[in-house]
Amino acid sequence: MGVWGELDASWKRELAPELESDYFKELAAFVEAEYAKGVCYPPGRFIFEAFNRTPFNRVKAVIIGQDPYHGPNQAHGLAFSVLAPTPPPPSLLNIYKELEEEYDCSIDHSSGDLSFWADQGVLLLNSTLTVAEHMPGSHQKHGWERFTDAVVSALNARRENIVFMLWGAPAQKKGAKIDKSRHRVLAAPHPSPLSAYRGFFGCGHFRAANAYLEAHGIPAINWLRP
């Protein structure tokens, strides 16, 4: 798999059946071909960034996105996150607004890098891990959805007391089989400008996530910038 960087060892173990399957080999060949013929995102070294930043046994919370951003200097393998100096996209700005409301604070809107969440155990998982430039959805239905379903399934079955934050119908569908007796599921509309006012604003998910974690003896997540 020449275009992408290495996958964290803990995830390699947990996802070995997927990585060794025929469908994943076909997916890998498709991704290789797409990156060879044109610009795709994220850069290859970042395809598995969410997993490398957040090893399997360190996952405290999961936030599920959809496609990676499909413009230059945006996607770096973490759902909703962009590296500096790219300004936060609209959905991320709405996430900041909800955080500001929940914590009665101000957040620096100039940075969209959520790596510090990932480093604390927040798996920022896109349903599809790659995309062709300026072609949203172009790498859907080639195997990524099956792979990321397996990620959610592994966490659901082999971990306990994870908070799954499911924003929008696609994320909620992906998390439909999560065992709510073992984990906490928080559902709300997507934070995009088209839907944030339908219930994302005021959802209280960030405080609710920390309350659940602390109730189970797990250190809270610092959602605000360090």
pLDDT of residue 215: 98
Give the contacts of 171 (CB within 8 A, at least 6 positions apart).
64, 65, 66, 127, 190
- Does residue 223 sit within a domain? no
**What count of other Cβ atoms lies within 10 Å of the Cβ of residue 157?**
13
Lowest mean pLDDT among 5-9, 13-17, 27-31, 156-160: 5-9
- Does residue 222 sit within a domain? no
Given a cut of 60, whether residue 37 has pLDDT beyond it is yes
Contact by Cβ (8 Å): 122, 54: yes
Averaged over 98-114, what is the pLDDT?
Answer: 95
Least Cα distance to 127 among 143, 112, 113 occurs for 143
Contact by Cβ (8 Å): 58, 86: no
- Does residue 145 sit within a domain? yes
Contact by Cβ (8 Å): 54, 123: yes
Given a cut of 60, whether residue 163 has pLDDT beyond it is yes
- Does residue 138 sit within a domain? yes
First CA to last CA distance, the chain: 35
Domain containing 148 equals 9-215
Which CATH number is 109's domain given?
3.40.470.10
- Give the integer Cα–Cα distance in Å for 42 and 195: 26
Averaged over 132-152, what is the pLDDT?
Answer: 96
Given a cut of 60, whether residue 1 has pLDDT beyond it is no
- Out of 8, 22, 67, 104, the active site residue is 67
Which secondary structure element, helix H or strand E, spans residue 144, and what is its range? helix 144-158
- Does residue 23 sit within a domain? yes
Strands 40-41 and 184-188: what pairing? unpaired
- Is 67 noted as a catalytic residue in this protein? yes
Region at 204 (left for phi over 0; alpha for psi -120 to 50; beta for the rest): left
| Residue carrying the six token digits 């599920």 | 64
Tell me how many domains the chain contains: 1
pLDDT of residue 225: 78
- Does residue 225 sit within a domain? no
Least Cα distance to 114 among 106, 99, 124, 105 occurs for 124
- Does residue 184 sit within a domain? yes
Averaged over 119-124, what is the pLDDT?
Answer: 98
- Give the integer Cα–Cα distance in Å for 79 and 98: 17
- Does residue 123 sit within a domain? yes
**pTM (two decimals):** 0.97
